[in-house]
Structure 1
């Protein structure tokens, strides 16, 4: 099970968080600080798995963002790397070569895509086309609602 997802910039700024295990706000801030420090200080040639407080953090750097997922130690790290890559590929297709600014200004879309891929910390949809179809359908509904409201 995935306990939480963090997207962190190289400067340590959090761009997206999704919690599947409930934590109090104070503990969330502490976790974000610890994970940021842990991941950002690791060398580029080290593996993308880190043991942390009885869990395993799997991360991957894409451009200026670190995509981090916290999983149980018994879970498959390579599968989690595949989930991260799957998420990035869908973001790439939706935004057309996604960058950090896309996630800053369209964070609601990034959350929506993540929610289509993962439910309760488990992989829900592995088909990229299906996820993109759902997101574009939602975009069309939003545009229709805006046009209806403008009338």
Structure 2
């Protein structure tokens, strides 16, 4: 996830990548997205519809957990956002889209923290 200023707010790598290389890769992705042509709807390489659905579902899960998520929720609760992402995607593959199942580990953690 990148904000409108091009700053990375959330990233996940499924193979080891050095920190210096990550910055270069993320800058390349942002540059690619910002320089796309006007008639180009997206910069996605795989099935665009599935990518849209995944992003939309991820935002819906974040909204459900944070009650109208904003970027500050992501910045200050990065561990929880990573848990959500890890429940949805494992090893680069979508494994779960059901919102209740995705949020189950966080619900259990929150219950433990409250007691």
State the alpha-carbon separation in 1 of the partners of residues 5 and 110 from structure 2.
31
Pick one of 5, 11, 14 that aligns with 1:11.
5
2:77 matches 1:83:
no
Q: TM-score, normalised by structure 2?
A: 0.86
Query: RCO (CA 8 Å, sep 6+): is it higher in 1 or 2?
Result: 1
For structure 1, the residue ranges without an aligned partner over 5 or more in a row are: 1-6, 51-55, 57-74, 145-151
State the alpha-carbon separation in 1 of the partners of residues 86 and 6 from structure 2.
24
Q: Which has the larger radius of gyration?
A: 1
2:107 matches 1:136:
yes
CA RMSD between the two structures: 1.9
Q: TM-score, normalised by structure 1?
A: 0.68
Q: How many residues align?
A: 115
CA contact (8 A) 1:9 1:15 kept: yes
Question: Where do 1:1-151 residues align within 5 Å?
Answer: 7-42=1-36, 46-50=40-44, 56=45, 75-144=46-115
State the alpha-carbon separation in 2 of the partners of residues 78 and 23 from structure 1.
28
How far residue 115 of structure 1 moved from its aligned partner, in angstroms, is 0.8
